[in-house]
Amino acid sequence: MEALTDFVQFIIQNLINALQRGSFYAVISIGYSMVYGVLMLFNFAHGDIFMVGTYIGFGIATLFLALFSGFLPGPLIFVATVVVTMFLASWIGVFVEVAGYRPLRSAPRASAAITGLMIGIIFETGILILLGAKRLSFPPLMESIAYNIGGVYFTNVKVMIIILSLLLMLALHAFIQKTKWGMAMRAMSYDFLAVPLMGVSINTIAPLTFAVGAGLAAVAGILYGQAYPILDPYMGVIIGWKAFVAAILGGRGSIKGAALAGYLLGFIEIFVATIFPSTLRDLIAYSIILLILTYRPRGFFGMEHSTKLRL
């Protein structure tokens, strides 16, 4: 009996770990999917937009904590940080679209894809030159309290990350389904040639899409800073790759798919490391994903029209 409770504890503990990890992959991979839906290309700078968003969040959080920590309640500072960071970071998204992608819109697809990589490198080195190679520590926006319920350990920060990520995705869903802008984005992903003829300019929708993706990534960055409070200019590279994998696995252009695949990726990574020696984690985890893609090349929710154009 005790062995069983032990086992259940172990499973629940790992589920919580996986939910936290998966939340980051999910929120970031949505950014890839949204842009793909509209422009039919992957924004490879997205991982670095996430990084820049985290640095902006760091700056805003440090500033607000210094200004208001005496007389404003903690949760309010947190919300203010999220809102201001989201606003500022969305301009980074707009900048990437206008400066990087717009001039190359009619260029060969490969050139446009490379643009993202280059912008990413510019961001990395830019931050490196601006702030130096020194690692920064993200200030805690809420006091971390550890709970132990029946042998399962979690903190309020973990719970907050999981819930806030879910809320964020629900809000995005509502935005896309219920608003005029959302409808325009959906229409664009259905047929990006016909929609401009209906009076919806791609020069409005594309920056909007980038802005929303960057805003989401920046919130993910603040949450990331709460869970893993060490910032470095290359922090977005690996997580960006993995979120990109999730976006493909979920089905190109499918936001629901990207979110689900993000969680799945978190689960696979955590449970593979739990069952097998941790040295083999990425080897086994990504072999599993390769296998899934072999049998479902369009990912979970990929539609036929979204794979017509290669890359």
Nearer to other proteins, 146 or 194 (CB): 146
Contacts of residue 235, Cβ cutoff 8 Å, sequence gap at least 6 = 51, 54
From candidates 154, 244, 263, 301, binder to other proteins by CB under 8 A: 154
Residues 258-277 that bind other proteins (CB under 8 A): 269-271, 273-274, 277
Other C-beta atoms closer than 10 Å to the C-beta of 99 total 12
Residue choice 144, 203, 204, 287 for contact with other proteins (CB under 8 A): 144
Q: How many chain residues touch other proteins (CB under 8 A)?
A: 36
Residue bearing tokens 């820049």: 52
- Which residues, at least 6 apart from 22, have a Cβ–Cβ distance to it below 8 Å? 262, 263, 264, 265, 266, 267
- Nearer of residues 152 and 187 to other proteins, judged by Cβ: 152
Ramachandran angles phi, psi of 154, nearest 5°: -155, 165
Identified binder of other proteins from the candidate list 13, 166, 173, 300, rule CB under 8 A: 13
For other proteins, the closer CB: 17 or 115: 17
CB of 136 to other proteins, least distance (A): 8
User: What span, in angstroms and rounded, lies between the C-alpha atoms of 69 and 119?
Assistant: 36
Between 97 and 269, CB nearer to other proteins = 269
Pick the binder of other proteins from 5, 69, 125, 137 (CB under 8 A). 137
CB of 153 to other proteins, least distance (A): 4
Return the number of the residue (10 or 175) whose C-beta is nearest other proteins.
Answer: 10
148 binds other proteins (CB under 8 A): yes
DSSP 8-state class, residue 197: G
Cβ atoms of 251 and 299 within 8 Å: the answer is yes
Measured from the CB atom, the residue of 199 and 277 that comes closer to other proteins is: 277
Within a 13 Å sphere around the CA of 116, how many CA atoms are in the beta-carbon half? 24
DSSP string across 77-127: HHHHHHHHHHHHHHHHHHHIIIIIIGGGTTS-HHHHHHHHHHHHHHHHHHH
Closest CB to other proteins among residues 149, 197: 149
> Which one of 99, 153, 163, 311 is in contact with other proteins (CB under 8 A)?
153
Q: Are 255 and 301 in contact (CB under 8 A)?
A: no
Which positions lie near other proteins, rule CB under 8 A? 6, 10, 13-14, 17, 20-21, 134-135, 137, 144, 146, 148, 153-155, 158, 227-230, 232, 234-235, 237-238, 269-271, 273-274, 277-279, 281-282
